[in-house]
Amino acid sequence: MSAPRHDVIVLGLGGMGSAAAYHLTRRGYSVLGLEKFGPAHDRGSSHGGSRIIRQSYFEDPAYVPLLLRAYELWEQLSVDSGRDVHSLTGGLFVGPPESTTFAGSLRAAQEWGLTHEVLDAADVHRRFPTIRPEPGQLALYEAKAGFARPELTVAAHLDLAARAGAELHFDEAALTWTDNGSGVRVTTAAGEYRADQLVICPGAWAPDILADLGVPITIERQVMYWIEPSGPADRWADMPIYIHETDAVEQIYGFPAIDGPAGGAKVAFFRKGVECTPETIDRQVHEEEKAQMRHRVQRLLPHLDGPVLDSATCMYSTTPDHNFVIARHPRHSAVSVACGFSGHGFKFVPVVGEILADLVADGRTDHPIGLFDPTRMAQL
């Protein structure tokens, strides 16, 4: 006896896939979700306790309209789920005046009329005593920046999707998928499933699952660290999130001690990974890596000087231009894809789910996603 046919199969239930399942079920679609691991797992890119959210987007001001909608959906998800999936702490984007981190953030804030302040190094240290930029550096302060909790976000979307009728299968990896012109088929070790449409949110498994997409995606190992701070506990709990760039164009990012000083303050390098695959990633964090992180962070936070209390790895799935891929598959009209989030995608999770639901419903979206068209790679 064959399995019942669904309206949509969602392949991958991490950050983007869980949001897609939620938005599709809200619109009345019959949804089957398939996930290689368990719910809200730590094997991909949607874990680690916190992810920065911000609107003054130094990567490209074109992302700002999506962020404004994402913020509305973060609020909606908090209300609908009853979970504190995000918090606003304020954010500092610090670097030399011409740096991407500062100048790019300022450009986005000015272009979109976002509320912000420009602070010099002394201003920053007076307001936030734990943070001490180098003389001559500037900071853009955005009060609406903060962090999302990735595991809670994924769990919230999954729970709401299941409550609305989605059928979710965990620990069931897809072996193959096909689009035969009259629908899609996905095969797993447990059987074969059919649907009218397929949404693929593969994370670091994109190079294999979407081999015919025409987008070269590099998988990179990244490391997150939790370091014990010194000094008054309230200073570390009340500080903003931050991104700091040096003259050498090296960026780190970090968070308050969101679970109390005993849990450490999280910090990491941005775009300082090594290439890997999901099968070959080194999950061990080595002592020399911890020492390098402790040394680097003290250039901005001299009192974040205790031992590394914990560490974890995750993966970036990076496109050549660091922009996302969100589109109908150029070769398969019944397939929509979301991948290549290049280390800066989690803040968009709610709106990506909404966009994928639009693509399923109408084959298009009113959201500005031209930047994410996979066919752009032919022009690079």
| pLDDT given at position 145 | 98
* Residue numbers in the chain where pLDDT is lower than 70: 1-2, 379-380
Closest C-alpha among 110, 124, 68, 344 to residue 240: 124
Q: In which residue are the tokens 């913020």 written?
A: 71
For position 2, what pLDDT does the model report?
59
Task: For domain 87-147+221-315, give the CATH number.
Answer: 3.30.9.10
Alpha carbons 293 and 307: distance in angstroms, whole number: 11
Domain-wise residue ranges, the chain: 5-46+151-217+321-379, 87-147+221-315
The CA distance from 150 to 126, in Å, is 32
The C-alpha angle with vertex 46 and arms to 42 and 50, in degrees rounded to 5, equals 100
Query: Which pLDDT score, from 0 to 100, does residue 379 have?
Result: 67
> How confident is the model at residue 247, as a pLDDT?
86
Top-level class of domain 5-46+151-217+321-379:
alpha beta
In tens, the pLDDT along 328-380 reads 999 999 999 999 999 999 999 999 999 999 999 999 999 999 999 999 987 65
Q: Rounded to whole angstroms, how far apart are CA atoms 106 and 118?
A: 8
188-217 pLDDT, tens per residue? 999 999 999 999 999 999 999 999 999 999
Whole-number pLDDT of residue 181: 83
pLDDT at 1: 41
Q: What local confidence, expressed as pLDDT, does residue 380 receive?
A: 56
